[in-house]
Chain A
Amino acid sequence: MTEHLFAWLDERLDLSELRAFVAEKSVPKHRHSVWYYMGGITLFLVGVQVATGILLLLYYRPSAGEAYESVKFIVSQVQFGWLIRNVHSWSANLLILMAFVHLFSTFFLRAYRKPRELTWITGVLLLFVMMGFGFSGYLLPWNELAFFATKVGTGIAGAIPFVGDFMVRFLRGGDDVTGATLTRFYGIHVAILPAITTVLLGVHLLFIQRQGMSVPPSVEKREQAGEKIPQEPFFPNYVLHDVMWWYVALAVLAALALFLPWELGTKADAFAPVPAGIRPEWYFLAMFQTLKLIPSHVLGIEGEMLGVLGFSLAALLLLVMPFLDRGAAVGRPSKIITAAAVLTVLYLIIFTIYGYLAA
Chain B
Amino acid sequence: MSSQDAHLQQRESPRRTFLDTLLGLGFASTFMSILYPVWRYVIPPANAEPATDSVVAGKVSEFRPNTGAVLKFGTKPAILVRTSDGQFKAFNAVCTHLECTVQYKSETSQIWCACHNGLYDLSGNVISGPPPRPLEVFKVNLRGEPGQEDVVISRT
Chain A proximity of B42: nearest CB distance (Å) = 6
* Contact across chains for B37 and A83 when beta carbons are under 8 A apart: yes
Q: For B40, what are the chain A residues with a Cβ–Cβ distance below 8 Å?
A: 79-80
> Which B37-58 residues have a C-beta within 8 angstroms of A?
37-38, 40-45
Q: How far is the CA of A51 from the CA of B39 in the complex (A)?
A: 13
Q: How far is the CA of A84 from the CA of B42 in the complex (A)?
A: 11
Q: Closest residue of chain B to A80, judged by CB?
A: B37
- Per-residue interface assignment for chain A, residues 51 to 65, with 1 indicating a CB less than 8 Å from any chain B CB and 0 otherwise: 100010011000000
Chain B interface residue number, banded: under 10
A303 within 8 A of B: no
* Contact across chains for B45 and A80 when beta carbons are under 8 A apart: no
Q: For B45, what are the chain A residues with a Cβ–Cβ distance below 8 Å?
A: 77-79
Number of interface residues of A (CB under 8 A): 13
Contact of B42 among A55, A77, A83, A250 (CB under 8 A): A55
Q: How far is the CA of A84 from the CA of B40 in the complex (A)?
A: 11
Q: Closest residue of chain B to A243, judged by CB?
A: B27
A173 within 8 A of B: no
Q: Closest residue of chain A to B43, judged by CB?
A: A79
Q: How far is the CA of A188 from the CA of B140 in the complex (A)?
A: 51
A81 within 8 A of B: yes
* Contact across chains for B44 and A84 when beta carbons are under 8 A apart: no
- Per-residue interface assignment for chain B, residues 84 to 119, with 1 indicating a CB less than 8 Å from any chain A CB and 0 otherwise: 000000000000000000000000000000000000
Q: Closest residue of chain B to A52, judged by CB?
A: B38
Q: For A250, what are the chain B residues with a Cβ–Cβ distance below 8 Å?
A: 30
Q: For B44, what are the chain A residues with a Cβ–Cβ distance below 8 Å?
A: 59, 78
* Contact across chains for B42 and A58 when beta carbons are under 8 A apart: yes
Q: How far is the CA of A81 from the CA of B41 in the complex (A)?
A: 6
- Per-residue interface assignment for chain A, residues 241 to 265, with 1 indicating a CB less than 8 Å from any chain B CB and 0 otherwise: 0000001001000000000000000
* Contact across chains for A55 and B43 when beta carbons are under 8 A apart: no
Q: How far is the CA of A58 from the CA of B42 in the complex (A)?
A: 8
Q: For B30, what are the chain A residues with a Cβ–Cβ distance below 8 Å?
A: 247, 250
Chain B proximity of A243: nearest CB distance (Å) = 8
> Which A296-329 residues have a C-beta within 8 angstroms of B?
none
Q: How far is the CA of A145 from the CA of B138 in the complex (A)?
A: 48
Q: For A58, what are the chain B residues with a Cβ–Cβ distance below 8 Å?
A: 41-42
| Interface-centre pick from B30, B41, B45 (highest chain A CB count, 10 A) | B41
Q: For B37, what are the chain A residues with a Cβ–Cβ distance below 8 Å?
A: 79-80, 83-84
Q: How far is the CA of A51 from the CA of B40 in the complex (A)?
A: 15
Q: How far is the CA of A350 from the CA of B42 in the complex (A)?
A: 42
Q: For A83, what are the chain B residues with a Cβ–Cβ distance below 8 Å?
A: 37, 41
Q: How far is the CA of A81 from the CA of B44 in the complex (A)?
A: 10
Q: For A81, what are the chain B residues with a Cβ–Cβ distance below 8 Å?
A: 41
Chain A proximity of B98: nearest CB distance (Å) = 25
- Chain A interface (Cβ < 8 Å from any Cβ of B): 51, 55, 58-59, 77-81, 83-84, 247, 250
Can you sample 28 A-B contacts with CB below 8 Å? Answer: A51-B38, A55-B38, A55-B41, A55-B42, A58-B41, A58-B42, A59-B44, A77-B45, A78-B41, A78-B44, A78-B45, A79-B37, A79-B40, A79-B41, A79-B43, A79-B45, A80-B37, A80-B38, A80-B40, A80-B41, A81-B41, A83-B37, A83-B41, A84-B37, A84-B38, A84-B41, A247-B30, A250-B30
Excluding A80-B40, A84-B41, 13 further A-B contacts by CB distance (< 8 Å) are A55-B41, A77-B45, A79-B37, A79-B40, A79-B45, A80-B37, A80-B41, A81-B41, A83-B37, A83-B41, A84-B37, A84-B38, A247-B30
